[in-house]
Copies of this chain bind each other. A is one copy, B any other.
Amino acid sequence: MPNPIDRSCLQQRRHQLAELIDDRVLLWSGSAVPRNFAANSFPFRASSHFLYLAGIPLQNAVLGLESGQLTLFMDDPPPEAILWHGPSPSRGDVAALIAAVTHYPLSALPSWAEDAATLPAPTLATRQEQTALLGRTLTEMGQGEQGVLVDPRDRQLAQAMVTLRLQQDQGAIEQLQEAAQVTVAAHLAGMQMSQPQSEAAVRAVIESVFSAHQCSTAYTSIVTVQGEILHHDRYTHSCCPGDLLLVDAGAETPYGWAADVTRTWPVSGQFSATQRHLYEIVLAAHDACIAEAAPGVEFRNLHLLAAHQITSGLVEVGILKGDPEELVERDAHTLFFPHGVGHLLGLDVHDMEDLGDLAGYAPGRQRCDRRGLRYLRLDRPLQPHMLVTIEPGFYQIPALLNDPELRRTYQDCVNWDRLVQFADVRGIRIEDDVLITETGCQILTSALPTTVDEITALLQD
């Protein structure tokens, strides 16, 4: 189990926050959510903003921040809890652990709350506690949304958190490296299964590596022979020779930091010629984006670079027809690569998506309707210490390829007869976690093979 983030790092974050916001800040951790009855809950996951500043997950706790100094609001557990849950540290012990200057029970919150800025907690019950205390309704924001935070103090706090969390500090990088290492080990264990029988069996092996390292899943793992379903969340199929298995799974450390990694490999251990052709096209896009990733580079341009690479490759193998540049301008690649090439990664797998597009989109920018950019979650110039995913893909999605309007629009761009010959490729994605450095980037997940030869060698082991 990794160490928690050290106190000096947490204190630095609190001081940096104080430089960006004048108001007092209150951040709620949240509480466990019942699964079927009150005592049987989902595993507790603290709010990411809370984790960023507290370092450890505490249930039913609130952080008060003023001039960089932390006040912890939390109740001691009821006396009976010791029978069921064992001895707990006192509030004072917890305060010392996270370098809180003072600490009070939750009943002291009202006297502290006046004029405080806050951010909506992920769970409704906690948002309603926030509303009751602060007298304002807090609405969660969805992907693509902006500006739902009504109160100017809350908006300023959101901007400040985005500023801080966009660039990972040393404490964060150590956690993210840990998440990446565990994830690499898990994917390797999945690839090295002697004969994967079923999606469920592969998922079980991969997630057991997370568990054995005290990690959880940062998101619902995708382990599927139907890679064309982008967020496939069931594991009901057998794995058959000839299938490609797409695995998109990432660990989350006990302190909440995520990895997000995808590999695609042949169940039989050998890529067919058609699978290899398309795999190498996706890999070329992946490699090109990583080669270009550096401070100052617009992430949107990496996305377009991936689109160009994939389009050129598909023209070369005869699936697309025409000039690659023109095809990308017409968004023809979205028939096969409909999503964005990556997103922010940190405490959340889509980092700070609870703030809508506030983190993902630079000030003044918003999502664009164009097919080729609609699903891009990140549109900012890269900065040092930003962590992003690079995850190009190729998919044959019936809902797109059989859509009458799309077929009309792209009738002249696709060689449908040629495409039929690639029927053994349903979905390929290759995804790594890429930390922007001062001059370029570093792949946190580079220990996991990407090339056809490397993967084939591993599968034959």
Check if A64 is an interface residue, CB within 8 A of chain B. Answer: no
Q: How far is the CA of A37 from the CA of B212 in the complex (A)?
A: 26
Check if A273 is an interface residue, CB within 8 A of chain B. Answer: no
Q: Which DSSP category, helix, strand, loop or mixed, fits chain A's interface?
A: loop
Q: 1/0 per position for A196-212, CB-CB distance to B under 8 A?
A: 00101101110111111
CB-based contact B232/A214 at 8 Å: no
Cβ contacts under 8 Å, A34 to chain B: 122-123, 140
Kindly specify which of A43-51, A149-157, A297-305, A380-388 makes contact with the partner chain: A43-51
Check if A40 is an interface residue, CB within 8 A of chain B. Answer: yes
CB-based contact A348/B220 at 8 Å: no
Q: 1/0 per position for A35-57, CB-CB distance to B under 8 A?
A: 11111111101011000000000
Cβ contacts under 8 Å, A219 to chain B: 40
Check if A87 is an interface residue, CB within 8 A of chain B. Answer: yes
Q: 1/0 per position for A69-107, CB-CB distance to B under 8 A?
A: 000000000000011111100000000000000000000
CB-based contact B39/A350 at 8 Å: yes
Q: How far is the CA of A34 from the CA of B353 in the complex (A)?
A: 12
Check if A213 is an interface residue, CB within 8 A of chain B. Answer: yes
| Closest chain B residue, CB of each to CB of A142 | B38
Q: How far is the CA of A140 from the CA of B125 in the complex (A)?
A: 13
Given A35-B42, A40-B350, A201-B212, 9 new contacts (CB under 8 A): A36-B347, A37-B354, A38-B143, A40-B219, A83-B338, A85-B231, A86-B228, A208-B208, A211-B235
Query: In the assembled complex, how far is the CB of residue A396 from the closest CB belonging to chain B, in whole angstroms?
Result: 12
Check if A240 is an interface residue, CB within 8 A of chain B. Answer: no
